[in-house]
Chains A and B, each alone.
Chain A
Amino acid sequence: MSRSSPCLLAAWGVAGITGCAGRQSALDPAGPSAAAIHTLGIAMWVGAALVTLLVIVLMLVPFIRKRPRPANRRLFLWGGGVALPLVTLMALVPYVLTVGQETRASTAPEALSIDVTGHLYWWEVSYRRAGSPPGANSANELRIPVGEPVELLLRSVDVIHSFWVPRLAGKIDMIPGRVNRMVIQADQPGRFRGQCAEYCGTQHTLMAFEVLAVPRAEFDVWLQQMNHPAPHPQTPELRAGRDLFVSMGCGACHAVRGVAQGRLGPDLTSVGSRSLIGAGALPGGVGNIAGWIASAQHLKPGNGMPSYDQLEGTQLRALSNYLDSLK
């Protein structure tokens, strides 16, 4: 009867211990917080497997033994019922609290601090703290330096969202009217996918983002770039694209530094460099940008962006090429 569960359990165990790859896997930690939790998880799973095994064996013995013998009440009730959970918990609870303390460790004040704000259904990112240039905004992508603790201040402007990058840390909710704080740190460069973890409405599914960990020097260069407006378009087509961006009123919702200051939708100053379009609706690239502009409501029904399906082919190409050029 329990034929299926042990082998699945074994498969699980192997997967858990060898580490499971995946851009969003808590079993493949890339930061100290996620790593500490992963170790805690392994310890608890080993314990759980042993206790489950014990219960199953004790439960099956009466069915296979030859001569019935009454149970030793004291052993079962005091030993199994009281002592077993009590001892286990007395070991576990302090360990758990220690891990909790470590993973919420505070950062030094001069460390980098990023504001992340949840919107239906995208992420606003601002580098407003000490040393960051004004207007250093981004969306659906957090760039952080490798090997440093980074403070995040998490807010929401509409409903409850939850910020979760499993490879770096646990999640924390973004609640209207409150500011939550968490510290993340990436110990290796790379792209770490995250996703909204609190159901927030029709398109909760398509509310993803990426944390991009880069070496400090590269990060500083990138941050300095934020002092300057987006580069001027170089070709006539790109210029036509920019003009369309302005004339069609895209700037009412979207910001492009030096061109428009809309705040209702994602900042597009560096949209061309992102690997996700529409907060995870599509991968990046000029073709997908065009597809998104033309049929955002079809690709992600219920999001704030209308489908601009009345654009001519040339217009759509110009506009999407312009946006893709914003690196």
Chain B
Amino acid sequence: VTRSSSAIAGARPFEGSDLPANAAALYPQSTGPEGLQRLEAAWARPARFGLLTEINNNHIGVLYIVTGFLFFLGAGVLALLMRIQLAYPGNTFLDPATYNQFFTMHGTVMMFLFSVPIVEAFAVLLLPSMLGTRDMPFPRLSALGYWCYAFGGVLVFVSLFFKIAPDGGWFMYPPLTGPKYSPGINTDVWILGLGFVEIAAIAAAVELIVGILKTRAPGMSLSRMPVFAWYMLVTAGMIMVGMPAVIAADILLELERAFGMPFYDATRGGDPLLWQHLFWLFGHPEVYIIFLPAAGMVSMMLPTFTRAPLVGYTWVVLSAIAVGFLSFGLWVHHMFATGLPLLSLGFFSAASSAIAIPMGIQVFAWIATLWDGKPMLRVPMLFILGFLCIFTLGGLTGVMVAAVPYDWQVHDSYFVVAHFHYVLIGGMVFPIFAALYYWTPTVTGRMLSERVGRWAFGLMFVGFNAAFLPMHLTGLLGMPRRVYTYPADIGWNTLNLVSSVFSFVFAAGVLLVLVDWVRHWRGGGQVPHNPWDAPSLEWMAGLGVAHSFRSLMPISSRYPLWEQKGLKEDETAGRGYLPDAPTTEREALITTPISAEPVQIIRLPQPGWTAFVASLATAIALAAATLKIPSAAAVAGVIAASAFIRWLWVLDGPVPHGLADAGRDLALPLYKNDSASVGWWGLSVLLVSDAAVLASFAFAYLFLWTSRPASWPPDGSMLPGFVLPAAAVLLVACAALLFRAAERQIRRDRRSPAVWSLLVGALAGLGACWLVWGWPASLGISPTGHSYGAAAWTLAGYAVFHIGIGAAMALWCALRLALGMIDSWRCLTVRLCLLWWGFTVAVTAFALLLIAGFPHVVH
């Protein structure tokens, strides 16, 4: 009864698996108790300290959310301290230096350590079960991202207690943050900590994109996907494209601070506006990176509380995508006061306003959903209504600041402070609190208190509006942002006092939620499954079980728990896919990106120390380097490197050739070594970010030329020739071709010629590194004398970095090949390295062509 034999002929629900009708599948699945036993053993959570080794996204997601909320509380306390300082004119509660550190940290922590991580955290926690999978494909990467975020964030935050916290504003405009005007390590702390957080954000984004596209439940085609997954897909894509701009800006700033390469220093051909372009090229999309996931959560909660499907699913999805695209065309509206030509301001003004259309569609789709059903006024719904009120006004003041002349008045005044708190607290914090009340039962099995929640909402709503609405007026009365005090006779006293008092009312509401959460966490009655009678799959997942589902059910509806009768029973009875873990490893089902047909069973990494050790050692190494303790930095650096090497070493382990039983009479391969593998998708997504970093460096080069066209190239440097760069590109192309030849040989299992091709390819790569690195010096281009040299060296350096990694990959593959760890079947490593080499050829050609060709064009 309990053995499902895949040899049984039966209707195969999905086309596309290459199972011959009578083949015996490996690892037969069992739907009985012994299958469940194996499943539970494979997903068992390590105990005590071992918990640090757990990498399951369900677990990491909870850590992520808790950490994010702690940062929210910390930054909130900073805000309250600032409000005390501003309650009265001439107050001396905080001295100027401390106040400057506080507002810098408030902004930095809220934007980088709370907002972006927490929305990704909710996705990491909820998406696997919402998509009907056990886990997403790269849990170890998620764990690495989480630990990087936690260590980097703590590093930045504790700097406050040593009075070395960043103090240049969360936007860190040079030259104020350059080596001349910020000689202390405060700015380095910011760059270092944020570097970690950016790595974490990108790691989570890779996981989310590949997870959403490749690990959905069978049958959950794109059009049946929960709308939150759509929002997260757009958000993660925006992170992959947008985050690199600020990473590049940070790298350039640190190069200027540590090595004196002038990018932002106007006295040596740099331009402070370069930073603003790069920063806001990311910074503006960031607002939507924060808002879209929150909007996605609202779109998930509304159907539950109205008992009606979301109105205009397609409209909403298309709006989210439109917002994603438009958000990259708006960054200049943070720079309206920098003196750019009115024509370009007009363009950005219109583009900024245009985003009101997809926003309007979403708001009206939500309202229509309310109209369609019978809405219930539970706590999450209260927070959603609060969100609609506040966010609408925030969006409308956004249209006002997008109006160029109006922005000239209100920019950098308290009006803008009011505006973006309406957008961010209204558009993101209220939905997050709704989500907290809504989804807490999926984690703890207990509900938060309805009564406390109502009080908390009331305090937060009233406190928020009474604190921030007056700030519009304060700003119009002329109060600039980021001032630690103000004159008493200028008409701002009452307004500031009101804002200060009600900020504490808002904080009281947050505190109430915190108390409620702690109370609920310590005990209380369990609620039944799916207490809200919600339609989506995360409410079907088993409580407190890491594998989420006994079996993975085929999905045929957008609202499966409402429309697919008996789904829960079938799932628990093991009538779906993978009801067992016969390999004793953690497994998930890979499906096709569009129609979600199952095509592969992947083995997920087991719990392990690598992610934790790698991130901790990296954090220590970089912190020690910042604090100038070279010995500690070296030791920690070696440990970190070993951890990463170990990680890579165990990747692409041995896998049997045959098809394995997936349950429901389907047999699937356990391994893909081509572009269908998740590894290939993960690397491709990562290369998009890599290309965006390169584009940012190229933008820096071209932008610096536009601001200093007369001295490009500056006196004393020769015009670059084309022979050497052409030779270098040729050499890199040769190395790539050798790598490709090696890959061909490997597919024919001809090991020794493959090893030789790889070794010669690595040698060619190293030769190219040497050529490219020496080239700018031979032209008399100094990296520190003028922005021209700094920009050219950065581009060349980025090419060298890629070629160097490629050479290391060739040696790595040669070693694994020699040890028999690569063969014609198990060759994904080689394929991925080949992808890198192809990309490297493009990077090198592009960078060198720009450096060599552009001075000729403008000369």
Q: With a CB–CB cut-off of 8 A, which chain A residues contact B365?
A: 76-77, 81
Among residues of B, the one whose C-beta sits closest to the C-beta of A154 is B339
Q: Among A1, A45, A195, which residue has its beta carbon within 8 angstroms of that of B480? A: A195
In the complex, the answer to whether B371 meets A103 with C-beta atoms within 8 Å is: no
Among residues of B, the one whose C-beta sits closest to the C-beta of A164 is B480
Contacting B at CB under 8 A, from A200-246, are: 200-205
Say how far B176's CB is from chain A's closest CB, in angstroms.
4
Q: Among B167, B457, B478, B707, which residue has its beta carbon within 8 angstroms of that of A24? A: B478
- The interface of chain B, by Cβ under 8 A from chain A, is 95-97, 100, 167-169, 173, 175-176, 181, 266-267, 270-273, 306, 311-312, 315, 319, 337-339, 342, 345-346, 349-350, 353-354, 356-357, 359-365, 367-375, 377, 382, 385-386, 388-389, 392-393, 396-397, 399-400, 403-413, 457-458, 461-462, 465-466, 469-470, 472-473, 476-487, 489-492, 707
A17 touches B (CB below 8 Å): no
Q: With a CB–CB cut-off of 8 A, which chain A residues contact B404?
A: 96-97, 100
Q: With a CB–CB cut-off of 8 A, which chain A residues contact B480?
A: 164, 195-197
In the complex, the answer to whether A4 meets B357 with C-beta atoms within 8 Å is: no
Provide the bound-state CA to CA distance between A131 and B478, in Å: 34
Q: With a CB–CB cut-off of 8 A, which chain B residues contact A9?
A: 469
Q: With a CB–CB cut-off of 8 A, which chain A residues contact B413?
A: 197
Provide the bound-state CA to CA distance between A202 and B359, in Å: 39
In the complex, the answer to whether A80 meets B389 with C-beta atoms within 8 Å is: no
In the complex, the answer to whether A52 meets B389 with C-beta atoms within 8 Å is: yes
In the complex, the answer to whether B388 meets A59 with C-beta atoms within 8 Å is: yes
Among residues of A, the one whose C-beta sits closest to the C-beta of B404 is A100
Known: A48-B393, A77-B364, A97-B349. A59 touches B469 (CB 8 A): no
Q: With a CB–CB cut-off of 8 A, which chain B residues contact A15?
A: 473
In the complex, the answer to whether B403 meets A158 with C-beta atoms within 8 Å is: no
Provide the bound-state CA to CA distance between A16 and B475, in Å: 12
Q: With a CB–CB cut-off of 8 A, which chain A residues contact B372?
A: 70-71
Among residues of B, the one whose C-beta sits closest to the C-beta of A68 is B374
> 8 closest A-B pairs (Cβ-Cβ)?
A170-B408, A177-B266, A24-B478, A81-B361, A71-B371, A80-B364, A180-B339, A22-B491
Known: A171-B409, A172-B339. A177 touches B176 (CB 8 A): no
In the complex, the answer to whether B311 meets A71 with C-beta atoms within 8 Å is: yes
In the complex, the answer to whether B405 meets A103 with C-beta atoms within 8 Å is: yes
- Can you list 5 residue pairs at the A/B interface with Cβ under 8 Å? A9-B469, A73-B368, A100-B345, A100-B349, A160-B176
Known: A16-B476, A92-B353, A176-B266. A62 touches B339 (CB 8 A): no
Say how far A190's CB is from chain B's closest CB, in angstroms.
15
Q: With a CB–CB cut-off of 8 A, which chain B residues contact A68?
A: 371, 373-374
Q: Among A73, A96, A166, which residue has its beta carbon within 8 angstroms of that of B406? A: A96
Q: With a CB–CB cut-off of 8 A, which chain B residues contact A159?
A: 173, 175-176, 181
Provide the bound-state CA to CA distance between A280 and B209, in Å: 53
In the complex, the answer to whether A177 meets B173 with C-beta atoms within 8 Å is: no
Q: With a CB–CB cut-off of 8 A, which chain B residues contact A100?
A: 342, 345-346, 349, 404-405
A104 touches B (CB below 8 Å): yes
Known: A8-B470, A96-B349. A76 touches B371 (CB 8 A): yes
Contacting B at CB under 8 A, from A30-51, are: 34, 36-37, 40-41, 44-45, 47-48, 51
Say how far A157's CB is from chain B's closest CB, in angstroms.
10
Q: With a CB–CB cut-off of 8 A, which chain A residues contact B360?
A: 80-82, 84-85
Known: A5-B469, A55-B392, A175-B339. A41 touches B173 (CB 8 A): no
Provide the bound-state CA to CA distance between A63 and B487, in Å: 47
A311 touches B (CB below 8 Å): no
Question: A22-B492, A195-B478 provided; 14 other pairs, C-beta below 8 A?
Answer: A1-B461, A8-B466, A52-B396, A59-B389, A63-B375, A80-B363, A89-B350, A93-B350, A100-B404, A100-B405, A159-B173, A195-B483, A199-B173, A301-B96
Provide the bound-state CA to CA distance between A302 and B182, in Å: 13
Among residues of A, the one whose C-beta sits closest to the C-beta of B375 is A62
How many residues of A sit at the interface, in one of the four size bands?
35 or more
Q: With a CB–CB cut-off of 8 A, which chain A residues contact B393?
A: 48, 52
Among residues of A, the one whose C-beta sits closest to the C-beta of B491 is A22
Known: A2-B389, A171-B337. A44 touches B478 (CB 8 A): no
Among residues of A, the one whose C-beta sits closest to the C-beta of B475 is A26
In the complex, the answer to whether A5 meets B465 with C-beta atoms within 8 Å is: yes
Provide the bound-state CA to CA distance between A202 and B184, in Å: 13
In the complex, the answer to whether A85 meets B465 with C-beta atoms within 8 Å is: no
Q: With a CB–CB cut-off of 8 A, which chain A residues contact B486?
A: 205
Q: With a CB–CB cut-off of 8 A, which chain B residues contact A128?
A: none
Provide the bound-state CA to CA distance between A80 and B359, in Å: 11
Provide the bound-state CA to CA distance between A170 and B339, in Å: 12
Say how far A56's CB is from chain B's closest CB, in angstroms.
6
Q: With a CB–CB cut-off of 8 A, which chain A residues contact B167?
A: 202
Known: A69-B371, A81-B365. A27 touches B477 (CB 8 A): yes
Provide the bound-state CA to CA distance between A211 and B273, in Å: 28
Known: A26-B476, A197-B480. A76 touches B385 (CB 8 A): no
In the complex, the answer to whether A55 meets B363 with C-beta atoms within 8 Å is: yes
Among A15, A22, A203: residue with most chain B CB under 10 A: A22
A61 touches B (CB below 8 Å): yes
Q: With a CB–CB cut-off of 8 A, which chain B residues contact A73?
A: 311-312, 368
Provide the bound-state CA to CA distance between A169 and B478, in Å: 11
In the complex, the answer to whether A22 meets B478 with C-beta atoms within 8 Å is: yes
Provide the bound-state CA to CA distance between A193 and B480, in Å: 12
Q: With a CB–CB cut-off of 8 A, which chain A residues contact B408?
A: 37, 103, 169-172
A20 touches B (CB below 8 Å): yes
In the complex, the answer to whether A201 meets B465 with C-beta atoms within 8 Å is: no
A107 touches B (CB below 8 Å): no
Known: A59-B388, A61-B371, A197-B412. A25 touches B361 (CB 8 A): no
Provide the bound-state CA to CA distance between A3 and B404, in Å: 33
Say how far B717's CB is from chain A's closest CB, in angstroms.
20
Among residues of A, the one whose C-beta sits closest to the C-beta of B707 is A177
Say how far B345's CB is from chain A's closest CB, in angstroms.
7
A18 touches B (CB below 8 Å): no
Provide the bound-state CA to CA distance between A12 and B306, in Å: 35
Provide the bound-state CA to CA distance between A178 and B340, in Å: 11
Among residues of B, the one whose C-beta sits closest to the C-beta of A9 is B469
Q: Among B364, B409, B466, which residue has its beta carbon within 8 angstroms of that of A76? A: B364
A99 touches B (CB below 8 Å): yes
A162 touches B (CB below 8 Å): yes
Say how far B469's CB is from chain A's closest CB, in angstroms.
5
Q: With a CB–CB cut-off of 8 A, which chain A residues contact B492?
A: 22
Say how far B368's CB is from chain A's closest CB, in angstroms.
4
Q: With a CB–CB cut-off of 8 A, which chain A residues contact B97?
A: 202, 301-302
Q: With a CB–CB cut-off of 8 A, which chain B residues contact A124?
A: none
In the complex, the answer to whether A40 meets B406 with C-beta atoms within 8 Å is: yes
Q: With a CB–CB cut-off of 8 A, which chain A residues contact B411?
A: 170-171, 197
Q: With a CB–CB cut-off of 8 A, which chain B residues contact A85?
A: 356-357, 359-360
Q: With a CB–CB cut-off of 8 A, which chain B residues contact A199?
A: 168-169, 173, 176, 412, 481-482
Provide the bound-state CA to CA distance between A202 and B483, in Å: 9
In the complex, the answer to whether A56 meets B389 with C-beta atoms within 8 Å is: yes
Known: A34-B409, A176-B175. A1 touches B458 (CB 8 A): yes
Say how far B797's CB is from chain A's closest CB, in angstroms.
25
In the complex, the answer to whether B409 meets A41 with C-beta atoms within 8 Å is: yes
B-contact bits for A263-274, CB 8 A (1 contact / 0 none):
000000000000
Known: A1-B382, A92-B403. A301 touches B357 (CB 8 A): no
Known: A71-B368, A159-B181, A205-B485. A20 touches B477 (CB 8 A): yes
Q: With a CB–CB cut-off of 8 A, which chain A residues contact B312?
A: 73, 76-77
Known: A24-B490, A197-B412, A204-B482. A93 touches B353 (CB 8 A): yes
Known: A41-B409, A170-B337, A180-B339. A55 touches B388 (CB 8 A): yes
A310 touches B (CB below 8 Å): no
Provide the bound-state CA to CA distance between A205 and B403, in Å: 27
Q: Among A5, A21, A173, which residue has its beta carbon within 8 angstroms of that of B339? A: A173
Q: With a CB–CB cut-off of 8 A, which chain A residues contact B469?
A: 5, 8-9, 12
Q: Among B345, B367, B399, B465, which residue has its beta carbon within 8 angstroms of that of A59? A: B367
Known: A37-B408, A86-B357, A171-B412. A81 touches B364 (CB 8 A): yes
